[in-house]
Structures are given as structure tokens and as C-alpha cells.
Amino acid sequence: MQNTDKDMLCDELLSQTISASETEAAADEDCQSDELFEHFSIVVDKGQSLLRLDKFLVCRLENTSRNRIQAAADGGNVLVNGRPAKSSYKVKPLDRISIVMPYPRRELEIIPENIPLDILYEDDDVLVVDKEAGMVVHPGFGNYTGTLVNALTFHLQHLPMFREGDMRAGLVHRIDKNTSGLLVVAKNERAHVDLAKQFFDHTIYRRYVALVWGNIEEDEGTITGNIGRNPKDRLQMWVFADGSDGKHAVTHFRVLRRYGYVTLVECRLETGRTHQIRVHFAWQGHPLFNDERYGGDRILKGTTFMKYKQFIENCFRAMPRHALHARALGFVHPATRKEVMFDSELPDDFRALLSKWETYTAAASGGREPLDEVEL
């Protein structure tokens, strides 16, 4: 049996007795990040002889083609000793190599579905969609149809990236099924690589609006705590305050409106971990309103009066999901290199929920500033 091109490259590598130290950081795991890219760091062994960078990496990284590595290098996403390097760079002993790439293609039978999408912006490189609550971003267990990727595959079926059965075609980040709001999608490999690097560098601007239980004392602040899988419940994420597990996560917030028993906050993400806003605020004792996974679907603050209980149940019916909306998204356009910014208005269910709280607190306080006059 003949070797594949990659096998022959690796045989060549081994015949030259070339080796490298173990990879320091493996790819960001799917279950611990909403950002769909992977990052590797490698320190080259002292016995390394000169070899092209792309040939070296194709043997060091599993399930990674030479084309993916070359695309990453062309986009400036392969750094050697902190500086962008070309594929032709000759690897030297003790070089420190860092590479960021979109996740590799995962094949699945993607059925193009003519699902309406609220597209705020589209050009030859990117598409910005305002996702409605209830839509899963990409196919997975129990959700093989009706996802954003199924809709994108139909809408963009003329593009090579969306004809190959890739369950993550064009995606560099995602938001939860029941979170509404903005997502950027790459329409070609160049844009895909560029956006992945921006997410990795934390230069993407993301602003969320959330309604949380309790009256947050500070007008603004920062929540920092490693996030990983809950060891006792695999469906939940967990904050490892001592840093013993999980991945570094930072959420900045400021208060927009106080309703006494609940607080409307704006959140700015510095990192993008799975359920980050939801788990960070739950950890602080302020779970998102009606967040069933983290205990926000119970009456956590307020009175024992029957009328209040009925009021909360009406609020839950008005917004039968956790109260979180991806309000703003900004990035550097992969082609024009200009900063672009997009905003999404609060959806009807979120507006209806806030209107109920406005009415409730106005009755208690004798009137207050209309919600429309509050900067969101």
C-alpha cells in the first residue's frame, strides 16, 4: 500500500531524526468554548534541523492538512517567536510556534433548508445574522435539521465552503439555542481564518443585554473565574474559583436598569466560554431570569404575596426562555480592514418582559422614566 502525501512527509521528517517537544496547549475543546477555533503552541526540540514550517506542522498536528496550515500562515495566524511567519520559513531549534485556525471540517449530511434568516449585512466575505431564540446554531445530537447551518447551507449553496457537508461551515463563534442576537459568518476561507484570529486575540466587540435575579450592588464591575464542565452535572458549566480546572473567563458588566428584585445589565465578553454570562452570574448569586439550567426559573427574590407569584409566572410566560440577547457585534472586516459595528434591537419577548417589570415598579414607586428613554 502506498503512503499518503502526509505519510511521506512524516517519513521524511522521521528519517532526518527531527523531533519537537510535546504540544503545550491542545485545541480549545468544543464543550468549553463558544468560539469555534483551535490554538496550538509548540516549542521546537533542540535537535531540530532546518525544515519548512508547513512541513513541520503537518506532522506535529493531527488531522491538519498542509492547505489549512498554509491558509493560516497566509492570514498571519502562524507566529514564530511572536512574529508572523510564512509557510516557507525554516524551523530552527527552540523556536516557539503558535498557530490559530478555524476548527477542521466535520462531515455530516447537511440538508439545505429554506429557513428564513434575518440578515443584517452581507458582502462577498462575511454575513451578519440576527438569530432568533430557539434556533440551534449548528447540527449536533438531537438537532440535525432546522439549525442555522442548515439555513446557511441553503442560502449560500453556491459557495464552495457550503457545499462540502461541513457542520460548522463559516462559523467562528456561536450563541446558545435560546439566546437571541448577532452572529458573524465567514463566506470564504480567507475570512474564516481572519475572524478566527480576531476572536483568539479578543479583539471582537460583543455586547449582551441580560435580566438577572437580584439587585446588583455595583453600577459596574468584572466577573473573573475559570469555566469548565460541572463535575456533578455534565449538562452544566461550572466556575472553578481556585483555577484548578476549566478555562480563563472574564465578563464585564454595567447596570442599565434596576427593578428591585431583578436587574437589567449590559455584559461585555472578554472571553467566549460556553454559557459564560449565564454561569458567571449564577455563580455570583444572580442567575438569569427564567434560566432553567442555572436555577433562574424559580422565584428567587421578591415577596410571598400571591399577586407577586402570579406576576412572575406571567413574566415567565411572556419570555419562556432565559433573558439574554446578543445586542452588539463589532470586528475588523477581513477584506477592507475597516472596523464595522452592528446592533440588534431587543426582540419582542424581551421587550414584553421588561414592560411588565416597568409597570410593576412604576406602580410601586409612583412612576419612573420610560424604558424607551433608557440607553440600551
Tens digits of per-residue pLDDT, 90-136?
988 999 998 887 765 555 667 889 999 999 999 999 999 999 999 99
Please indicate, yes or no, whether residues 234 and 369 belong to a single structural domain of this protein.
yes
Please indicate, yes or no, whether residues 172 and 246 belong to a single structural domain of this protein.
no
Q: Label residue 336 by pLDDT band (50, 70, 90).
A: very high
Please indicate, yes or no, whether residues 190 and 253 belong to a single structural domain of this protein.
no
Structural domain total, the chain:
3
Q: Could you give the residue numbers annotated as active site?
A: 176
DSSP string, 135-163: --SS-BTTBSSSSHHHHHHHHTTTSGGGS
Q: Is residue 109 part of a domain?
A: no
Q: Label residue 28 by pLDDT band (50, 70, 90).
A: very low
Q: Which residue has the higher pLDDT, 88 or 315?
A: 315
Burial class (CB in 10 A: 0-12, 13-18, 19+), 229: middle
Q: Mean pLDDT over residues 38-63, rounded?
A: 81
Mean of the per-residue pLDDT values for the chain? 84
State the Cα–Cα distance between residues 204 and 158, nearest whole angstrom.
Answer: 28
Q: Which residue has the higher pLDDT, 364 or 27?
A: 364
Q: Is residue 81 part of a domain?
A: yes
Please indicate, yes or no, whether residues 297 and 350 belong to a single structural domain of this protein.
yes
For 231, the grid coordinates are 463535575
Which of 75, 102, 129 terminates a domain? The answer is 102
For 212, the grid coordinates are 438577572
Owning domain of residue 163 = 119-200
Does residue 20 have a pLDDT over 50?
no
Please indicate, yes or no, whether residues 149 and 277 belong to a single structural domain of this protein.
no
Please indicate, yes or no, whether residues 291 and 328 belong to a single structural domain of this protein.
yes
**CATH code for position 291:** 3.30.2350.10
Which of 72, 102, 132 terminates a domain? The answer is 102
**CATH code for position 42:** 3.10.290.10
Condensed to tens digits (0 to 9), the pLDDT of residues 142-158 reads: 667 899 999 999 999 89
Q: Strand pairing of 226-230 and 205-213?
A: unpaired
pTM of the prediction? 0.74
DSSP string, 329-353: EEEE-TTT--EEEEE-PPPHHHHHH
